[in-house]
Amino acid sequence: MIKVLDRYLLKYFIFSLILVALCIGLLIMAINMVEELQRFVDNQVPMKDIVTYYVYFAGWILKSFLPVFVLLAALISIGILGRHNEILAMKASGISLYRIAAPLLVFTFFLSIAHIYYNEVIYAEANKRRVELKEYTIQKRPAKGSKTSRNIYRQVSKDFFFTIASYNAATMEGREIRLYRSQQDRLVELITAEHMNYTSRGWTLYNGVKRIFEDSVENYEKFDSLPAAYIDEKPSDFEIPLGKPEDMAYRELAHYIKMMKRTGGPYQRELVDLKLKLSYPLSSFIVILICVPIASNPKRGGIAISVALGTGIALLYFVCFKVTQSFGYNERLQPDLAAWLMNGIFFIAGLAIMWKARK
């Protein structure tokens, strides 16, 4: 059961977290609004769409900055309690710093799990709507152009690949399809078709020619329609994705990486982002380990010194986190190492700080 002490500490922390999130979130919104103001006016964006956009934009802020909000809320709430000697009174009554930190650690651990759930289930779909509003309503980019993908390449297997000159997402129709099958670096089959469509049975090629090359002999066969069961892609796989891959849900990004591997395109950056989807939310838990022992023992100069010191250490954590992320993007670090290295280092550092702090 949650005891009185736990409720008291959590009340201060949660109130500070909500206050910090609102203040910084509104500030970020205001800055973005100033940047987008000219577009709102020039493109005569309806007020309803502006409000809707910033509702979704608030979701992006929560996804991107929650660990920062947790950091500041911990420094403020624990710092105030320390400044008022309430932490000292708790220690004098026989309550250790570990016990004081326990409810915050448990709460932020479950908050990190909730952050992962939010990113994958709630945020991903809402963010697509935000990007659509920005692209088509605010920036007035033509939606028709974004529905057509060109020069698509896919590799079915080591010796089998196909190309599509253009694909219309609205009609689920591809144009000028060519399929190549080779054997021992020699072309053994070539299929060309004017167009292909997706039905409940999968992809079907129309108005094409199938050529098979055997012993310098070409077998030539025309067809009106030909099932293409070997094409595993769904219609959405040929569409140009809106927004950044890093904003996709975990499964969606994993599927995107798999598709990039088949096309021979770059995917190192996306692979690092995939690992970060699990490691970054846990930052909320790790910064608590660092901030609580520092904020609970205000030095000479008051709470400002403790907040500044804790902020400096935690900001160092986020800067190092971004540096290792950049090394992962540039293939200087393995994706797993780029995503988890700083979490591991600062988790150990947080445990050491907690151990050495005055109990």
Q: Which residue has tokens 């020619």?
A: 209
pTM of the model: 0.74
| C-alpha 164 chain-centroid distance | 29
Sign for the CA dihedral angle at 204, 241, 340, 326 comes to positive
What is the structure's pLDDT at 29?
93
- pLDDT confidence band for 19 (50 / 70 / 90): very high
Whole-number Å distance between alpha carbons of 110 and 319 = 24
> What amino acid occupies position 313?
I
What is the structure's pLDDT at 23?
92
Whole-number Å distance between alpha carbons of 60 and 57 = 5
Whole-number Å distance between alpha carbons of 79 and 52 = 37
> For the residues 102-123, what does the mean pLDDT come to?
91
If one compares 354 and 35, the residue with the highest pLDDT of the two is 35
- pLDDT confidence band for 236 (50 / 70 / 90): confident
Note the pLDDT tens digit of each residue in 316-327: 888 888 899 899
What is the structure's pLDDT at 265?
64
Note the pLDDT tens digit of each residue in 175-221: 898 888 888 778 888 889 998 988 878 889 999 998 888 877 778 88
Per-chain mean pLDDT for the chain: 83
Structure tokens at 348: 């150990």
Note the pLDDT tens digit of each residue in 284-303: 898 888 888 777 766 555 56
> For the residues 152-159, what does the mean pLDDT come to?
76
Whole-number Å distance between alpha carbons of 3 and 271 = 43
Question: Has residue 113 got a pLDDT over 90?
Answer: yes
Q: Where are the alpha helices (DSSP H) in the chain?
A: 4-42, 47-83, 86-92, 97-117, 124-132, 143-146, 250-263, 268-279, 283-295, 303-329, 335-356
> For the residues 48-68, what does the mean pLDDT come to?
90
Question: Has residue 238 got a pLDDT over 90?
Answer: no
> For the residues 143-164, what does the mean pLDDT come to?
73
Residue 202: closest CA among 156, 235, 177: 235
Whole-number Å distance between alpha carbons of 163 and 150 = 10
Whole-number Å distance between alpha carbons of 250 and 238 = 19
If one compares 240 and 179, the residue with the highest pLDDT of the two is 179
> 301-332 b/e with 16+ CB inside 10 Å = b?
eebeebbebbbebbeebbeebeebbebbbeee
Question: Has residue 77 got a pLDDT over 50?
Answer: yes
Residue 343: closest CA among 280, 293, 292: 280
Question: Has residue 136 got a pLDDT over 80?
Answer: no
What is the structure's pLDDT at 307?
65
Whole-number Å distance between alpha carbons of 5 and 191 = 73
Residue 196: beta bridge partners? Answer: 174, 205
Lowest-pLDDT range, 223-232, 243-252, 330-339?
243-252
If one compares 25 and 215, the residue with the highest pLDDT of the two is 25
> For the residues 126-140, what does the mean pLDDT come to?
82
Whole-number Å distance between alpha carbons of 137 and 142 = 9
Question: Has residue 160 got a pLDDT over 90?
Answer: no
- pLDDT confidence band for 1 (50 / 70 / 90): very low
Residue 191: closest CA among 201, 202, 180: 180
> What amino acid occupies position 222?
K
If one compares 125 and 111, the residue with the highest pLDDT of the two is 111
- pLDDT confidence band for 359 (50 / 70 / 90): low
Dihedral over alpha carbons 343, 345, 349, 350 (to 10 degrees) = 10
